[in-house]
Amino acid sequence: MKIRNGFVSNSSSSSFIVVWDKQPESAEEIRKILFGDAKYHTAYNDDVSTELMSETIFKETKKASLEDINDEQSQLFYFDTYTGWDNQEPHWESVGYKPNEDLMDKYAEEKIKLKVMDDECRKILDKYSREERTRIQRKFKLERILEDGEELTDSEKLFINTEEKWNEIRQKMWSENETWEQLIEESTTALVEDHKDNFIAIYEFSDNDGTLYSTLEHGDVFDNLTHWRISKH
């Protein structure tokens, strides 16, 4: 058995939605399903006892609630609204279980529309220097406080109105909406319905807790079962 004396890692954790045929009744049952007759499981040059891993998984086994699955599903969906440094078009980075493609398209259209509006606002705001922005913001605050404050020019009003609109747009860009919630809910419903005769469990392991838990997180221990891993770096 190889033992690592030191452990260096960027701390991370992962959740797992795991579909068992039925609720495991013992650590030995888990060991047979996941590891067969193997005494050790190797990951990153570490050999970890399958007996110890199975005992840990058995203790951590709990039935996933509908809310648990929904929360984890929401992290399996990711739509990249920004083109990014490589100038790619907005696109879905990942999707959850059996996603409704019509809802995906609708959500993408909504976010892309917001992005176009965001770009338009930024083009206007970029015409103002940092000094001009600061001066206009201060002048606007004084105008609201003082009855005899200096009235804003048309250019200054354009900046204030555009900035307010831009802030609203960005808030909508970075928050989810009804389309998103419906998309996640339908995906979760499909997952639960398709596995209604099985036992769906949820786990969370972190490599910050040592070699055993690092192996449970990164060692592909659930490969014999239908499962989803949700990385939470």
Cβ atoms of 169 and 118 closer than 8 Å: yes
Sign of the alpha-carbon dihedral angle for 109, 110, 112, 117: positive
What distance in Å separates the CA atoms of residue 14 and residue 233, rounded to the nearest whole number? 8
Q: What are the domain boundaries of the chain?
A: 13-71+184-231, 85-182
- The predicted-structure confidence for 48-97, as pLDDT tens digits, reads as follows 999 999 999 999 999 999 999 999 999 999 998 876 655 568 889 889 99
Q: What is the pLDDT of residues 3-36, one digit of tens each?
A: 333 334 457 899 999 999 999 999 999 999 999 9
Report the distance separating Cα 195 and Cα 231, nearest Å.
23
pLDDT tens-place string over residues 85-142: 555 688 898 899 999 999 999 999 999 999 999 999 999 999 999 999 999 999 888 8
- Are 79 and 107 a contacting pair, CB within 8 Å? yes
The angle formed by the CA atoms of residues 220, 221 and 222, to the nearest 5 degrees, is 95
pTM: predicted TM-score of the whole model, two decimal places: 0.80
Residue 145 confidence (pLDDT): 63
d(CA 147, CA 40): 78
